[in-house]
Amino acid sequence: MTETIQLAQQLIQIESVTPNDNGCQQVIADYLRPLGFQIEPMPFGEVSNLWARRGEAKPVIVFAGHTDVVPTGPADQWQYPPFSAHIDENGNLYGRGAADMKSSIACFMVATKRFLSEYPNHKGSIGFLITSDEEGPAVDGTVKVVEALEARGEKYDYCLVGEPSSSQQLGDSIKNGRRGSLSGRLTVKGTQGHIAYPELAENPIHAFAPALKILTDTVWDTGNEYFPPTSFQVSNIHSGTGATNVIPGDCVVDFNFRFSTEQTPDSLKQAVHTILDGCEFQYDLQWNLSGLPFITPAEGALIQAVSEAIRQKTGLETQLSTGGGTSDGRFIAQTGAQVIELGPLNATIHQLNERVNVNDLNQLTDIYEHILINLLVN
């Protein structure tokens, strides 16, 4: 069993549901300290964060990831206990966090150790930015570490996030950007009344229906070479008192935009308010911005280094993608660093029986090491 697999098992066996790190970052720190890394715990609130850096020179490449995991769901429905890190006869490593993304962190660690052994006099610096708040609110994790590093003028050039980016085969896809996420909670105000006397009430559901059609029919943009068109989706509509003979007094609508670099939060807010203001109802609207879109251009040094490493180790020509949800890359990209996401297959993330193949992890370790060589040696 390789060192990568042993480390991955050690991390997966730690029950670290958001925001509890529960000792994972201590394992990482104890591994990196003998390699010459300066270790700096950076806790905020209930969240554990770790910043580790080796070297002072540029360029600086940062490995970023998270030790927190989502809840397991019904543990008795797993094929193996969710924190057992069991490896089956087919070489599949089971456990919550196996794909998302403790295994990637293990690959980071071993790749760095191998690289430093082979190239002790490399140029530049290496950093690790690890949080226990990626799967949760994400307010006291990576974003706070980034703000603290920015405040003291500590910059980095490249960031590799170990999120599970691969689709059908390891390395077939990398994320070179993500869409922004803007959510709204709309309260349409009506007048409650008896359902048999509609003339004495004002039904907020009926009032909102024409606006809903306009919002869902609107083409917000057509996207660009990196992003699909901006999408608008309603996730929940709630109204009523529980009685079948009462017209409700209000209707609450939760919705979300996943938006490209063709839009800004302000442009989307203005467009929505223009639509709603043109309708005949009173409303209140609260907004929440959870992430801005970002893109790392294909011609950048990081994507070139990553693509070459994948080609060298797998023979694949990787595809660039901006699909999927948000990640902590959105915070790091705002510093101006080039950011990509490269990790194992994403087929089982957040599911029962989450798993990765051990051969993929050994190969991913080789890819990460080759990326370091491309950026800090070649």
| Average pLDDT score over residue span 317-322 | 95
Instruction: Report the share of the chain in percent with pLDDT over 70.
Output: 100
Model confidence pLDDT, tens digit, residues 113-139? 999 999 999 999 999 999 999 999 899
Candidate list 21, 68, 100, 366, residue with the active-site label: 68
- Is residue 284 part of the annotated active site? The answer reads no
Say what the pLDDT of residue 324 is: 81
Candidate list 21, 100, 133, 134, residue with the active-site label: 134
Distance CA 370, CA 365 (A): 9
| Average pLDDT score over residue span 233-246 | 97
Say what the pLDDT of residue 128 is: 98
* Pair 249, 204: CB distance under 8 Å: yes
- Is residue 134 part of the annotated active site? The answer reads yes
Say what the pLDDT of residue 54 is: 98
Phi, psi of 263 (to 5 degrees): -125, 165
For residue 219, the tally of other CB atoms under 10 A from its CB is 8
Angle between helices 265-277 and 204-217 (to 10 degrees): 130
| Average pLDDT score over residue span 51-63 | 97
Say what the pLDDT of residue 83 is: 98
pLDDT at 326 over 90: no
* Reported confidence tier of residue 196, pLDDT bands at 50, 70, 90: very high
Whole-model pTM? 0.89
Nearest CA to 12 among 359, 361, 325, 370?
361
pLDDT at 378 over 90: no
Say what the pLDDT of residue 117 is: 98
Model confidence pLDDT, tens digit, residues 259-291? 999 999 999 999 999 999 999 899 999 999 988
| Average pLDDT score over residue span 312-327 | 92
pLDDT at 142 over 90: yes
Distance CA 101, CA 165 (A): 11
* Reported confidence tier of residue 327, pLDDT bands at 50, 70, 90: confident
Angle at 89 between CA 84 and CA 90, to 5 degrees: 105
